Amino acid sequence: MTHRTLISGGIVFSMDDAIGDLPVGDVLLEEDRIVDVAARIDAPDAQRIDARNRIVMPGLIDSHRHLWQSTIRQIAADWTMGQYVERMLGGLGPQFDAEDVYAATLLGALEALNGGVTTIFDWAHIVNTPEHADAAVAALAEVGGRAVFGYGVPRSPAPSWYPADLARIRSTYFSSADQRLGLAVASLGPEFSSVEETVVDIELARRLDLTTSLHLGVGLLGAQRAVTRMDEHGLLGPDLIFVHCNTCTDEELVRIRQTGGHVSISPRVEMQMGHGYPATGRLIDAGLQPSLGVDVVSGVGGSLFAEMRGTLEAERGRQNCEALERGEWTAALRLTTRDAVRFATIEGARALGMEDRIGSLTPGKQADVVMLKVDLPNLSLVNDLPAAVTLADSENVDAVFVAGRLVKAAGTLLSHDMRTVQDRARLSRDRLLPGLTLTQRPAVAGAPGR
Q: Considering beta carbons, is residue 191 or 295 the nearer one to Zn ion?
A: 295
DSSP codes, 174-218: ---TTSSEEEEEEE-HHHHS-HHHHHHHHHHHHHTT-EEEEEES-
Supply the minimum distance, in Å, between the C-beta of residue 293 and Zn ion. Answer: 7
Does residue number 270 form part of the binding site for Zn ion (CB under 5 A)?
A: no
Binding positions for Zn ion, 163-222, rule CB under 5 A: none
Q: Considering beta carbons, is residue 295 or 368 the nearer one to Zn ion?
A: 295
- Dihedrals phi, psi of 50, to nearest 5 degrees: -75, 120
Q: Contacting Zn ion (CB under 5 A), which of 295, 315, 368, 393?
A: 295
For β-strands 240-244 and 21-30, DSSP reports them as unpaired
Q: Which residue is nearest to Zn ion (CB)?
A: 295
Supply the minimum distance, in Å, between the C-beta of residue 198 and Zn ion. Answer: 16
Question: Which residue stretch of 80-88, 233-241, 294-302, 320-328 sits at the interface with Zn ion (rule: CB under 5 A)?
Answer: 294-302
Supply the minimum distance, in Å, between the C-beta of residue 401 and Zn ion. Answer: 28
Supply the minimum distance, in Å, between the C-beta of residue 427 and Zn ion. Answer: 26
- Dihedrals phi, psi of 116, to nearest 5 degrees: 85, 5
Supply the minimum distance, in Å, between the C-beta of residue 121 and Zn ion. Answer: 10
Q: Considering beta carbons, is residue 201 or 295 the nearer one to Zn ion?
A: 295
Number of residues that bind Zn ion (CB under 5 A): 1
Q: Considering beta carbons, is residue 122 or 398 the nearer one to Zn ion?
A: 122
417-424, long-range: CB < 8 A, 24+ apart? 418/110, 421/106, 421/107, 421/110, 422/107, 424/103, 424/106, 424/107
Contacts of residue 194, defined as CB under 8 A and 6 or more positions apart, other chains included, come to: 156
Supply the minimum distance, in Å, between the C-beta of residue 301 and Zn ion. Answer: 14
Question: Which residue stretch of 55-63, 288-296, 335-343, 356-364 sits at the interface with Zn ion (rule: CB under 5 A)?
Answer: 288-296
Q: Residue 196, exposed/middle/buried by CB under 10 A (0-12, 13-18, 19+)?
A: exposed
Supply the minimum distance, in Å, between the C-beta of residue 324 and Zn ion. Answer: 32
Question: Which residue stretch of 192-200, 291-299, 386-394, 425-433 sits at the interface with Zn ion (rule: CB under 5 A)?
Answer: 291-299
Describe the crossing of helices 162-173 and 195-207 by its angle, rounded to 10 degrees.
Answer: 30
Q: Considering beta carbons, is residue 88 or 133 the nearer one to Zn ion?
A: 88
Q: Considering beta carbons, is residue 121 or 162 the nearer one to Zn ion?
A: 121
Peptide bond into 58 cis (omega under 30): no
Distances 429 to 70, 101, 425 between C-alpha atoms, Å:
10, 11, 6
Q: Considering beta carbons, is residue 303 or 396 the nearer one to Zn ion?
A: 303
Strands in 59-180 per DSSP E: 60-65, 117-124, 146-151
Q: Considering beta carbons, is residue 144 or 290 the nearer one to Zn ion?
A: 290
On whether the CB atoms of residues 12 and 53 are closer than 8 A, the answer is no
Question: Which residue stretch of 13-21, 141-149, 295-303, 439-447 sits at the interface with Zn ion (rule: CB under 5 A)?
Answer: 295-303
- The CA distance from 324 to 345, in Å, is 33
Cα diameter, the chain? 67
Supply the minimum distance, in Å, between the C-beta of residue 243 and Zn ion. Answer: 6
CB atoms within 10 A of CB 125: 20
Supply the minimum distance, in Å, between the C-beta of residue 209 and Zn ion. Answer: 24
Binding mask 133-152 for Zn ion (x = CB under 5 A): --------------------
CB atoms within 10 A of CB 321: 11
Interface residues with Zn ion (CB under 5 A) are 295
